Structure 1
Amino acid sequence: MIYKSYNDLSRDISANVHKLNYQNFDLIVGIPRSGMVPSYMVSLLLNVHCIDLPAFIRNEKLSKGITRNVQSNIIYAHDAKKILLIDDSIMFGRSIKNSLEKIPSSLLKNITTAVVYSSKQYHENVDIIFVQVEPPRVFEWNIYHHPVVSNSCFDIDGVLCFDPTRDQNDDGEKYIDFIKNAKPRYIPTVQIDYLVTNRLEKYRKETENWLIKYGVKYNKLIMLDLPSKAERMNQSDYFAHKSKFYKNCKSDLFVESDINQAIEIANYSNKFVFCVDENIMVRPGGLKRFKNKKYFLSKLRNKLSKIDFFKKLYYTFK
């Protein structure tokens, strides 16, 4: 499974904006909602006007900031002579097709279509493709609202809500109060298949009430069947509960907050795990857990920066 973050989106656009430089576009039109972020990135790099599709159709007056002028001096959207209609991605092409059908026919001759990510190297429904990303794929801007959620396992603490503090995690009244009043972090809008948590079974009622309170939709809640926090902490393989369940179920993705647990779950289950805290997709067998977490993260970031450097070098001389 391929994961693209906002950081990846920015890098991929910067590495491929040369495909647009010579075409002299005087207006960038973004397809809401996912197409708006790349449309603004592209418009800033090209220094041209940007507008969303509905506003373009209404022929609204263009605006800009006060810090710099844009290259073209057009005033209204329909004054543009070379228009780039852009979306974040394309699979079947329905979004691009639907967008073009809404645009006045007299303007279609001025429009070129583009996407940052395409499932195919060449796509019959789009003119310009930045990067081919074959499915299965998820993006930072849709991972909690993507159909893959319905075939995924999610942890609770650190994902759906923030982790308890040490003081709150007393396996008593403070912990119960935490569960009842935990602040939500990421709430998916798609039904989750399995919630797999190291919370103890004795806190099921409080946990279920919190899930109802914040409208979390799920199929089953899998909790740890141990009598106390002390026994849970005595486990040498604290990740085993999640790993074993994930390995034996049909889910394609596990969403976990802690990087070390994410690595262990991925390696044990031989499946993908998305690490919320580090915003990365952990591949099975790709990483090993480090006892020193800070050292591990510095090594990981150094590795990613090297990959980014060679990617830019590749596109420079391609």
Structure 2
Amino acid sequence: MTAAATAMPRRSDVGEIIAHNNTFDTIIEPRILQDYQMKIKAVKTCKISRVVVGLSLLFLSLCASAKADATSLPPSILATKTITFCSAMTQPPFEFYDKKLKPEGVDIEMGELLASQLGLSVKWINVPFAGVIPALLAKHCDAVLSGLNITPNRLQMVDMVPYRFAGSTVLLKAGAPKLPGVEALTGKKVAVVTGTAASLVLSQTNDALLKEGKSPITLVTFSDNATALQQLQFGQVDAFGVAYETATYYDQIDPGQFEFGVPIFHKVRDGIAVRKDDTGLRLALASALSAVMKNNSYNTIYQKWHIGFDVLN
């Protein structure tokens, strides 16, 4: 795929670099992807200490103070002392419901951590992944914290505060032969969740396959990961295109049932989405994120969930 020219990110008044009215590629060059895969290998072998990826990406600089600046919060949030996040609670280990139907996961802990820096409590609203941005624009919530990749299309609708990296892969049933690449899925049925990075990349792969005169991948779309995974278990599809972190989670809780068909084929930044007219909230969240990165509580969450390779450096 051809990389498009991209605009440089702008630095905000509080020192963070924020994705705001900019466009940039979401497909990462091979060297950067290789670095990311090396970080994953380091985590898996318990040898990760401080793996630094020298990328020309979007990073957050750390504030001099370890305390977030809440003065820019919107009056509605200041009045209630509560921030409401929209999230798709079907994306373990990022966000999901535990056995007691309580929100759990990396993003849940991150949301609570950021809110505590701002002196706020948190309210969560469960929304299908494809509907989180529409829900935000309809003012059902103040922000979206749900593993949203930062893409040019999304930046036309919302502003985003980058807070981690994320990758995609393909899950197969155990015993299926490994794939040389996603192009090897030509003519196969592949489950994906609507609006995810995997669905986007596999759609782009179809464009390339058609140009080469090959059969396209049949993408079978679902609204959540659990249903898509079930289709793979039942043999209704040949593969499942999914976030690498989610695939790893499923493999850990049900070992021996699945295998990774390809290495990570896509790496992007995820961002917290806010409405474009909510500059104050965007700045406050960026300030809170810088504070928790500085005091290491940010890293602690990712290490706890065994995805330390996703952190921004």
Flag whether TM exceeds 0.5 (same fold): no
For the pair shown, the structure with the greater C-alpha radius of gyration is 1
TM range (shorter): under 0.3
Q: Which has the higher helix share?
A: 1
TM-score (normalised: structure 1): 0.25
TM-score (normalised: structure 2): 0.25
Higher relative contact order (CA 8 A, sep 6+): 2
